[in-house]
Structure 1
Amino acid sequence: MVLTTARRVLRSLVVIILVTMGSVALLSLAPGSAASVILGENATPAAVAKLNARLGMDRPLWHQYTDWLGHAVTGDLGTSPVTNESVTHAVLSRLPVTLELAAIALTLSLAVAVLLAIVSAAREGSAVDRGATALSSVLLSVPAFIAGPVLIYFFSLKLGWLPVSGWARVSTDGLGANLRGALLPAVSIALTEIAAFHRALRADLVSTLREDFIAAARAKGMSPAYVMFRHALRPSSFSLITLAGINLGRLIGGTVVVEILFSLPGLGQLVVSSIVSRDLVSVQGIVVFVVVAYVLVNTLVDLSYQWLDPRVGKVAAA
């Protein structure tokens, strides 16, 4: 088990190193130079040369990477030449918004999807199963940029239950106001996640419920609910956990449309504003942060398989 864990951690480190090398190399691939892109077409050669020297772009690429990596491992992702703000500070100040949005969306989608999947699998082929499958197909075809305006129209403009846009902070506005502001964007994201989670878990549950050990449990007189939750749900959760881990990592950096639509000060809003202002240093730092978070989340998901079924670790070690 220890060897398997070490191998997976090592693979994750290799991925992170390759991604960081690529992100640093991308700056040198900018037309002309990164400084000329940041400063614009009207920049003087002296200003471009000065900014290139400040960014370290006048040194060999390997030197740029080792210098950047030495700062990055201490938490320093550079300083924006546009705003003069630390990229790390900019990311961390907006990260709570994106994390809360992703966490609420993931929690809602998992809760609804698990319930639907259990009901569908327990009544395979019934009208309830067909209805849940049809609902998941509809939800899967509704992207967040469509669901968001629809939810705003009904729950904000027509009913007036929830705010149209903006973000309320817990420290200043209270938890209630914060959750009211986060609910609509979280639901906009969760709709398609519900469909994906439902399909994955239902398929695995249906397959597991046909196994011999499930038939043996039923033959012993165990209740359907006990068989479902004690014997079937846990070994059927591999695909769901994998999908949830992948989607959580994706949501950390993939809530751009929703954050723009609802005017939320998260990472999505930050990366869009950095791109518009041609702040390549900030874009680089955000990309590296999101990738590292994505890799770490998926590494934890891989390691969780051994908790769900110890046989996975034995097979991998063999």
Structure 2
Amino acid sequence: MSADAMSPTRRRGRIGIGSGLLGSPTVRVVGKRLLQAVPVLWGTTFLSFCLLNLLPGDAAQALLGENATEQDVAALRARLHLDQPFFERYLRWLGGVLTGNFDPSLTSGQSIAVEIMPRLLVSAEILVYVIVLSVLLTITVAVLAARRPRGVVDRISIGVSMIGLSAPHFVFALVLIYVFAVFLGVVPALGYVGFADDPVEHFRSLALPVATLVFVMFCGDSRQLRADLVDQLEGEDYIRTARAKGVPPWGVLLKHALRNSVFTLLTVVGGQVGLFIGGTVVLEQIFAIPGMGQGLMQAITFQDIPMVQTMVLIIAAAVVLANLVTDLLYAVLDPRIRHGRPNS
């Protein structure tokens, strides 16, 4: 039996983009995921709206200050529609979202789109940096560790992963600030510089927050990928067949085992978008980065309900989109999915 017959394509399909990528099975997958996203997004916005209304305090009072008169507070509440019943206010906001007519921000009075777009671009920029760097680091370390299980690199990677998984990410953020910003002084501790303003300072300003998230994601991803690689190298028939045909060890690892483990890596990375978003809410506060996380915290503090609702909707849509992209990548890499064949 040939090594190709026992290759990863027997279990998960040959990697490559076929002519049937846009065929009906893939379209059905996309349509099904989009239909499932509708109740998820609606439930997320409704639940967040309920929780915001349970917060103590008054948004109008917070905006005007403690010295404002009751008449001024009542007038502002009426102008901002805060005096309307709960469901009426929710349906009004939901109707604005469906028609593209968003309410203005309560704190600034500006369009929510104008307020959110710069923050969204900053957070998206960080997300791209984190995913690219963490995937590259994960593949490199996991391959080296799986090459010699229980060797030096493998033991070191497992130890580092255990350290990274044993403490919250903000702890590593504070450690990095002390070491690289305070003690060594090689990068700034706080602030953000746009790429168009100064490319060098841009990367320096994002070095610590990106390194924190990369480290946290790498610790979990590398363990998963390394375990999958070792499992294939030690227990799969197609690996033994490839070795019997004289395929070099690195060829077996990279051409066969790693190619099969792409699916494991896709699953892990696609499911970490929510972890990334949760991490940015805290890290953007720590590093004073004007992204979605910092904006969300500020909007919650001032009970800017339209702003919070819109940000929550965008974040939920980002998680749903990440899952959809993961499913589409499965269809790209596995011909059985895009041709509608069972995974057996």
The whole-number CA distance in structure 1 between the counterparts of 2:111 and 2:92 is: 16
Q: 1:6 to 1:83 in 2, by over 3 A?
A: same
- 1:243 match: 268
- 2:186 match: 161
- Report the residue type matching 1:207 in the other structure: D
Structure 1 residue 255: deviation in Å? 0.8
- 1:291 match: 316
The whole-number CA distance in structure 1 between the counterparts of 2:74 and 2:96 is: 22
The whole-number CA distance in structure 1 between the counterparts of 2:295 and 2:214 is: 22
The whole-number CA distance in structure 1 between the counterparts of 2:102 and 2:276 is: 21
- 1:13 match: 38
Worse overlay, 49-58 or 65-74:
49-58
The whole-number CA distance in structure 1 between the counterparts of 2:170 and 2:278 is: 16
- 1:83 match: 108
- Report the residue type matching 2:270 in the other structure: G
Matched ranges for 1:81-120 at <5 A:
81-120=106-145
* Residue from 276, 299, 302 that aligns with 1:277: 302
Number of residue pairs matched? 317
Structure 1 residue 118: deviation in Å? 0.9
The whole-number CA distance in structure 1 between the counterparts of 2:101 and 2:57 is: 26
Q: 1:235 to 1:25 in 2, by over 3 A?
A: same
The whole-number CA distance in structure 1 between the counterparts of 2:289 and 2:243 is: 50
* Residue from 213, 231, 248 that aligns with 1:207: 231
Deviations 1:142-190 (A, max 9, x none): 43322222222222233232122211112222x1110111111111122
Tell me the secondary structure at the aligned position of residue 303 of structure 2: coil
Is residue 261 of structure 1 aligned with residue 286 of structure 2? yes
Deviations 1:78-122 (A, max 9, x none): 212222122222221112222222222222222111111111222
Higher relative contact order (CA 8 A, sep 6+): 2
Is residue 22 of structure 1 aligned with residue 22 of structure 2? no
Is residue 184 of structure 1 aligned with residue 208 of structure 2? yes
Q: 1:294 to 1:75 in 2, by over 3 A?
A: farther
The whole-number CA distance in structure 1 between the counterparts of 2:66 and 2:182 is: 44
- 1:143 match: 168
* Residue from 171, 193, 197 that aligns with 2:221: 197
Matched ranges for 1:60-79 at <5 A:
63-79=88-104
Tell me the secondary structure at the aligned position of residue 259 of structure 2: coil
Deviations 1:236-262 (A, max 9, x none): 122321221222343245312221222
Worse overlay, 229-238 or 74-83:
74-83
CA RMSD of aligned residues (A): 2.9
The whole-number CA distance in structure 1 between the counterparts of 2:92 and 2:300 is: 24
Structure 1 residue 69: deviation in Å? 2.6
Deviations 1:24-75 (A, max 9, x none): 4445555687656766777666555544544445556555444323322454
Tell whether the 8 Å contact from 1:253 to 1:267 is kept in structure 2 after alignment: no
How does the TM-score come out when normalised to structure 2?
A: 0.81
- Report the residue type matching 1:301 in the other structure: T
- 1:300 match: 325
The whole-number CA distance in structure 1 between the counterparts of 2:300 and 2:67 is: 18
Q: 1:41 to 1:162 in 2, by over 3 A?
A: closer
The whole-number CA distance in structure 1 between the counterparts of 2:169 and 2:82 is: 39
- Report the residue type matching 1:245 in the other structure: G
Tell me the secondary structure at the aligned position of residue 236 of structure 1: helix
The whole-number CA distance in structure 1 between the counterparts of 2:60 and 2:263 is: 47
Tell me the secondary structure at the aligned position of residue 188 of structure 1: helix
Q: 1:254 to 1:141 in 2, by over 3 A?
A: same
- Report the residue type matching 1:198 in the other structure: S
Worse overlay, 91-100 or 252-261:
252-261
Q: 1:153 to 1:317 in 2, by over 3 A?
A: closer
- Report the residue type matching 1:294 in the other structure: V
Q: 1:97 to 1:5 in 2, by over 3 A?
A: closer
Structure 1 residue 136: deviation in Å? 1.1
Instruction: Give structure 2 stretches of 5+ with no counterpart.
Output: 1-24
Q: 1:187 to 1:31 in 2, by over 3 A?
A: closer
Instruction: Give structure 1 stretches of 5+ with no counterpart.
Output: none
Is residue 226 of structure 1 aligned with residue 251 of structure 2? yes
Tell whether the 8 Å contact from 2:59 to 2:302 is kept in structure 1 after alignment: no
Identity of aligned residues (%): 38
The whole-number CA distance in structure 2 between the counterparts of 1:193 and 1:57 is: 41
- Report the residue type matching 1:255 in the other structure: T
Structure 1 residue 12: deviation in Å? 1.6
Deviations 1:118-138 (A, max 9, x none): 112221232332222112111
